[in-house]
Amino acid sequence: MLSLLKCMDCGREYPINAVLYTCESCGGLLDVHHDLDALRGRVSRELFDGRLGTLDAPYSSGVWRYKELIYPDLDDAAIVSRNEGNTNLYPAPALAAWAGVRTLYLKHEGENPTGSFKDRGMTTGVTQARALGMTRVACASTGNTSASMAAYAAHAGMEGIVFFQDRQIALGKLSQAIAYGATCVQISADFDRNLALVREIAGALGIYVLNSVNPFRLEGQKAIIFETLQQLRWQAPDWIVCPGGNLGNSSAFGKALYELHQLGLIDRLPRLAIVQAEGANPLYRAYQGGFARFEPVHAETIATAIKIGNPVNYPKAVRALRWTDGVVTQVSDQAIMDAKALIDGQGIGCEPASACSLAGTRQLVEAGIIRPDATVVGILTGHILKDPDATIGYHRDALTGLRAAFPNRLHQAEPSVEAITAILQGSAARRPS
Task: Give the footprint of ligand F0G on this chain (CB under 6 A).
Answer: 116, 141-145, 212, 243-250, 305-306, 351, 353-354, 381-382
- Closer CB to ligand F0G, residue 59 or residue 163? 163
- State the SS3 of 14-44: ECCCCCCCECCCCCCEEEEEECHHHHHCCCC
The answer to whether residues 359 and 336 touch, using CB atoms and an 8 Å cutoff, is yes
For the bound state, the minimum distance from the C-beta of residue 353 to ligand F0G, rounded and expressed in Å, comes to: 4
The answer to whether residues 150 and 160 touch, using CB atoms and an 8 Å cutoff, is yes
- For CA atoms 44, 47, 51, 57, the dihedral sign is negative
SS3 assignment, position 413? coil
d(CA 315, CA 33): 16
For the bound state, the minimum distance from the C-beta of residue 10 to ligand F0G, rounded and expressed in Å, comes to: 24
For the bound state, the minimum distance from the C-beta of residue 305 to ligand F0G, rounded and expressed in Å, comes to: 3
- Closer CB to ligand F0G, residue 143 or residue 215? 143
The answer to whether residues 8 and 218 touch, using CB atoms and an 8 Å cutoff, is no
d(CA 211, CA 207): 12
Residue (of 331, 340, 320) closest to 247 by Cα position: 320
For the bound state, the minimum distance from the C-beta of residue 178 to ligand F0G, rounded and expressed in Å, comes to: 15
- Closer CB to ligand F0G, residue 43 or residue 303? 303
For the bound state, the minimum distance from the C-beta of residue 264 to ligand F0G, rounded and expressed in Å, comes to: 27
For the bound state, the minimum distance from the C-beta of residue 296 to ligand F0G, rounded and expressed in Å, comes to: 15
- Closer CB to ligand F0G, residue 150 or residue 263? 150
- Closer CB to ligand F0G, residue 127 or residue 146? 146
- Closer CB to ligand F0G, residue 124 or residue 246? 246
- Closer CB to ligand F0G, residue 214 or residue 249? 249
Measured in whole angstroms, how far is the alpha carbon of residue 84 from the centre of its chain? 14
d(CA 426, CA 260): 53
Residue (of 315, 347, 344, 349) closest to 405 by Cα position: 344
For the bound state, the minimum distance from the C-beta of residue 166 to ligand F0G, rounded and expressed in Å, comes to: 15
- Closer CB to ligand F0G, residue 51 or residue 383? 383
- In a 13 Å sphere around the CA of 97, the CA atoms on its Cβ side amount to 4
- Closer CB to ligand F0G, residue 160 or residue 244? 244
d(CA 297, CA 347): 35
For the bound state, the minimum distance from the C-beta of residue 76 to ligand F0G, rounded and expressed in Å, comes to: 27
- Closer CB to ligand F0G, residue 220 or residue 270? 220
For the bound state, the minimum distance from the C-beta of residue 221 to ligand F0G, rounded and expressed in Å, comes to: 7
Q: How far is residue 103 from each of residues 25, 90, 309, 371, measured CA to CA in Å?
A: 46, 11, 33, 11
For the bound state, the minimum distance from the C-beta of residue 180 to ligand F0G, rounded and expressed in Å, comes to: 14
For the bound state, the minimum distance from the C-beta of residue 420 to ligand F0G, rounded and expressed in Å, comes to: 37
- Closer CB to ligand F0G, residue 58 or residue 326? 326
d(CA 338, CA 145): 25
Instruction: Provide the angle, in degrees to the nearest 10, between the axes of the packed helices 248-262 and 215-231.
Output: 60
- Closer CB to ligand F0G, residue 128 or residue 146? 146
Q: How far is residue 345 from each of residues 30, 88, 92, 314, 406, measured CA to CA in Å?
A: 41, 17, 12, 34, 9
For the bound state, the minimum distance from the C-beta of residue 6 to ligand F0G, rounded and expressed in Å, comes to: 21
Tell me the pairing of strands 239-243 and 327-331.
unpaired
DSSP 203-227: HHHTPEE-STTSHHHHHHHHHHHHH
Cβ neighbours around 323 below 10 Å, total: 16
Instruction: Provide the angle, in degrees to the nearest 10, between the axes of the packed helices 314-324 and 248-262.
Output: 40
